[in-house]
Amino acid sequence: SIDSLGNTSFFRFDAPGTYPVRLRAIADNGCYGDTTINVVTAPNPYAAFAVAPDSICIGSNFTFTDSASFSGTVPVSRFWWSYGDGRVDSFTTRGPRQVRYDTAGVFTVRYVNSASRCNSDTATRTIRVWQKPDAWFGFTTGCLQDST
**107, 83 contact by CB (below 8 A):** yes
What is the model's pLDDT at position 147?
58
Out of 59-68, 81-90, 111-120, which region has the weakest mean confidence (pLDDT)?
111-120
Task: For 12-60, write each residue's pLDDT tens digit.
Answer: 888 888 899 888 888 889 899 999 999 888 788 889 999 999 899 999 9
What is the model's pLDDT at position 117?
66
Task: Give yes or no for residue 120 having a pLDDT over 80.
Answer: yes
Q: Does the reported pTM lie above 0.75?
A: no
Angle at 15 between CA 12 and CA 20, to 5 degrees: 70
Return d(Cα 15, Cα 27) in angstroms, integer.
Answer: 34
